[in-house]
């Protein structure tokens, strides 16, 4: 793929680290090396980003990994892998770093379901805005939330046929499941910078896809 000029905007090393780790799980180390070659990140093959919150991973490099997945597996296959990396981002970065620590509190548990979602999404947006140069906001509508990323690291400098920030979709789905105590929610990327929109925006239905058993 064409190399993406460096952006001068950064995300926490840990986000890059977790993404590669989740891909190693599926593709093996050699597969990830091939992916890094394709992403013009040969220097990463022997030194993955560190497992720290320092912001040293350029948006262009994180985007290149996502673009290389597309090139290697096609948009459909890449989507599955990116959703998986998004779930790992939730598990290791968000949940692992204690972002949702108050979700277990009694005061949180007795909140109405939609209030839980709103507060939980706020936690995600605040934390990811802190550990990256992305600016993430949540807007509430009557039946859905809109999660908006200004300056998105997932698709930075790329052009795609359709919305491509699937890693964010996977992270959101897994976070919502945790926040709600086990429900699945419909998360759709409705605007994407890679297709020419100004921001990347995700619509999140307030009602779960199916009632909890
Ligand atoms: Zn994006």
CA of 105 to the centre of ligand 1 (A): 33
Q: What pLDDT sits at residue 213?
A: 58
CA distance 67 to 51: 22
Write down the domain spans for the chain: 10-205
CA of 124 to the centre of ligand 1 (A): 16
- Please name the helix (run of DSSP H) or strand (run of DSSP E) that holds residue 139, with its range, or none: strand 135-140
CA of 94 to the centre of ligand 1 (A): 19
Whether the Cβ atoms of residue 83 and residue 23 lie closer than 8 Å to each other: no
The closest of 194, 127, 125, 126 to 166, measured between CA atoms, is: 194
pTM of the model: 0.95
Confidence of residue 210 (pLDDT cuts 50, 70, 90): confident
Question: What is the residue whose two structure tokens read 């507060």?
Answer: 119
Once rounded to an integer, what is the mean pLDDT over residues 32-39? 97
CA of 157 to the centre of ligand 1 (A): 10
CA of 158 to the centre of ligand 1 (A): 9
Handedness of CA 92, 167, 198, 121 (dihedral sign): negative
- Please name the helix (run of DSSP H) or strand (run of DSSP E) that holds residue 29, with its range, or none: helix 13-38
Q: Which residues surround ligand 1, an ion (CB under 5 A)?
A: 152, 154-155, 165, 200
Confidence of residue 1 (pLDDT cuts 50, 70, 90): confident
C-alpha to C-alpha distances, 21 to 30, 130, 193, 202, nearest whole angstrom: 12, 22, 26, 25
Once rounded to an integer, what is the mean pLDDT over residues 52-69? 98
Q: Is the pLDDT of residue 212 over 60?
A: no
CA of 115 to the centre of ligand 1 (A): 26
130-160 pLDDT per residue, tens: 999 999 999 999 999 999 999 999 999 999 9
* Burial of residue 95, with CB atoms counted within 10 A of its CB: 0-12 exposed, 13-18 middle, 19 or more buried: middle
CA of 194 to the centre of ligand 1 (A): 6
97-116 pLDDT per residue, tens: 999 999 889 999 999 999 99
Q: Is the pLDDT of residue 172 over 90?
A: yes
CA of 44 to the centre of ligand 1 (A): 23
CA of 106 to the centre of ligand 1 (A): 36
Q: What pLDDT sits at residue 104?
A: 87
CA of 42 to the centre of ligand 1 (A): 24
> Domain 10-205 is in which class?
alpha beta
CA of 1 to the centre of ligand 1 (A): 18
Q: What angle separates helix 166-180 from helix 113-130, to the nearest 10 degrees? A: 140
Residue 168, SS3 per DSSP: helix
């Amino acid at each position: 793929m064409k190399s993406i000029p460096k952006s001068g905007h950064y995300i926490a090393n840990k986000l890059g680290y977790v993404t590669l780790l989740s891909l190693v799980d599926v593709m093996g180390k050699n597969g990830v090396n091939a992916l890094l070659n394709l992403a013009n990140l040969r220097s990463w093959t022997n030194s993955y980003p560190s497992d720290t919150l320092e912001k040293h991973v350029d948006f262009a490099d994180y985007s290149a990994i996502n673009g290389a997945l597309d090139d290697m597996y096609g948009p459909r296959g890449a989507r599955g892998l990116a959703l998986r990396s998004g779930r790992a981002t939730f598990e290791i970065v968000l949940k692992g770093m204690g972002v949702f620590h108050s979700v277990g509190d009694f005061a949180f548990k007795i909140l109405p379901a939609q209030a839980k979602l709103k507060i939980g999404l706020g936690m995600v947006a605040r934390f990811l805005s802190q550990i990256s140069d992305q600016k993430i906001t949540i807007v509430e509508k009557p039946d859905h939330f809109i999660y908006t990323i200004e300056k998105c690291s997932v698709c930075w400098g790329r052009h795609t046929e359709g919305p491509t920030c699937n890693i964010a979709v996977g992270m959101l789905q897994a976070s919502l499941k945790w926040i709600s105590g086990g429900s699945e929610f419909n998360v759709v990327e409705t605007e994407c910078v890679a297709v020419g929109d100004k921001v990347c925006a995700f619509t999140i239905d307030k009602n779960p896809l199916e009632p909890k058993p």
